Structure 1
Amino acid sequence: MKVEVQQVRVGRLQPLANSGLETGIFKQPVTESWLAETGLQGDQQGDTRHHGGVEKALHHYPAEHYLAWCELLPELAAEWQPGAFGENISAYGLTEVDVCIGDIFTLGESQVQVSQARQPCWRLNQRFGHPGVSLAVQQQMRTGWYYRVLQPGRVWAGCELQLLERPHPGWSLQRILELFYRDCLNRPALVELAALPELADSWRTVLQRRLDSGAVEDWQHRLYGAA
């Protein structure tokens, strides 16, 4: 499995609409960048509690999703182009159906591993000026995903992303998203997924809370922010 990276993107902090907050979602394409354990050189995040760090060092969003967004939310047609979701990597040929948790890829001179899918939050509503984007991303399960960096190195527009190892072929990101957002209390599946060492700790925590409580967490604040 091999695809060509169309764009590498980094972003400096900018105001997020009228929220009074700053965001790094407005990323710009660069010819090349150095990928360290915490992300691309020069890339910034406004909310470092929920974005960035070693488990979310690099965000990949499938470029082919944008056509589907044009059809679903045509009123935002001008926004639907690579980079709109603040991704660092834009490429055609890989979606949540094709990628599994723990997959290891070479990316240019670096090596990365899939750590989790993205959990959409209310900041997407602010970014697009539309109150339903975060929920739509969750419902459509077109979230993109994050990589942790196993080997730092140079990456560039046009470099190859090539699969090296797939330790968990039964756990595509699509299956994981189904479990998180639709089949939410499937206990055997929750137990199996929580046991995978490659899954990001933050996602394992969510799974364990469901197992302990027998209930699904409240999504209201994540999707819509404070009341």
Structure 2
Amino acid sequence: MRNMALSPACSAFVRNIPATVKRCSTDGTPLSSVERASSVESRLVPRFSLSAVGADRPGIVAAVSGALVDLGCNLEDSTMAILQGYFAILLVVSAGPDVDARSLESALAPVAERLDLVLSVRPLTERHGPTNQRDAVAWTFSVHGADRTGIVHGVTAALAEVGGNVVDLATHLVGGAQAPVYVMTLRVTLPSSPDPEEAARQVQQAAQALGVHCTAHPDDSDTL
């Protein structure tokens, strides 16, 4: 196969861009700025998961997000909650090409020390969407009953058995110390076939076997 000569425009373009994006279209026209930006972003933008846990107090979010801003990081996804007096954060952040997990941890170390946070940073190599997004329907399950060991496992095992995927889960205790009631709310996706209603009934039966009450209904925006 003969080597094809590049057009003058493409040759000039190639000399002035990084090797990772030295590509031209088949007619010798340089890639568009949008195509180049997409290619560069997929290769050069580091992303990290960041978790932090510590006794709840005012200013934790402001301090952590401030350190991230100072490092030039962008907050892409987050979830935060107070669990029995402890504040928990889970973040996904993107950063500049010169930022790695070690430099991110170093930038956050003064905040973690001052606020007594247990901090963890992990690099993310790929983007992952919902595992069963295609042909899935969104449902909400509400579970409550006398507190006992194994409620979360029993209900989520039943969900896994019917192909359900937990999207969000929250639990808490209500009532007095003498008779605590365990409350759990789950947002899940169920396979749209053969029958999500039958799948929901199987989960409810599993909950009943655990001695807890379970209601389930499809969400308004049913197809994900």
TM-score (norm 2): 0.22
TM-score (norm 1): 0.22
Query: Which fold has the larger relative contact order, with Cα–Cα distance below 8 Å and residues 6 or more apart in sequence?
Result: 1
Which structure has more strand as a fraction of its residues? 2
Q: Which of the two has higher C-alpha Rg?
A: 2
